[in-house]
Structure 1
Amino acid sequence: MIVMKRYLSQIILLMMFVPVFAQEKSNSGSGDVKVLNASIFTAETAKGVVLVDFWATWCPPCRQMSPIVDEIAKELKGKVKFGKVDVDSNKDLATKYQIRSIPTFILFKNGKKVDQIVGAVEKKDLKDFVLKHVDKK
């Protein structure tokens, strides 16, 4: 009975940490969303339309938005670039762009900040927000 309780306790602990590992992976940036830091930020946002997601690992709305951003990045591949900035690891960037709440999505066009949206939003709203800044051909 004691052995069974010990194993049960270990299983419960393991089950508690599995979602944490999954969430960290989902916020690391998909193949279509590049993880940005101060050393590459300017170069990555200099040309074209770029949506940058300012987020943190401890932020539930950020974790909620991560798969949505990944989906939109796949759908708009070739039209818009997508990046993620962890505000805890990149405090200078968060300060420069006056990030007060997360998630904050800032849209850059040819290196200039043109618009932003704060908070968790519906997929359609975020996609429409991005598309209104894409040049129509």
Structure 2
Amino acid sequence: AIFITWLLTAKFFYEHLFGPEPPASLSSFIAQIFATGRGWTLIVLGHAIGFVFAVVVLCTSVVAFPLLLDRDVGAYEAIHTSVRVVLANPIVMAVWGLIVAVGLIVGSLPVFAGLAVVLPILGHATWHVYRK
């Protein structure tokens, strides 16, 4: 649901800035994005909006998934627990979110092949974060 909301928000934001018509070509799209004020608005505010969605996902899932696997709890309780953990440890959770983001970026650089190494490491580390 959050992913679909994010996609619809991005679509609405793009259409609000550039209209519903798709760009004529890739080169005109790149020119629109990097050479106009509307393009830079899209870059800056688009990243800010994406950051808000990322924070929501981190807060609702950082402990929820391991908790669902470890104990017999419902989704609501797992999400609620995850949010409480983030509110109780905001600095640690922000650092963890940064570690995950950097790991995913580094893993994506070699044509996404690095994710085969990064994702299991992050999964294992997530379990240890949950246990702490």
- Give the TM-score, by structure 2 length: 0.26
**Whose RCO is larger (CA < 8 A, sep 6+)?**
1
Higher helix residue share: 2
- Give the TM-score, by structure 1 length: 0.26
Higher strand residue share: 1
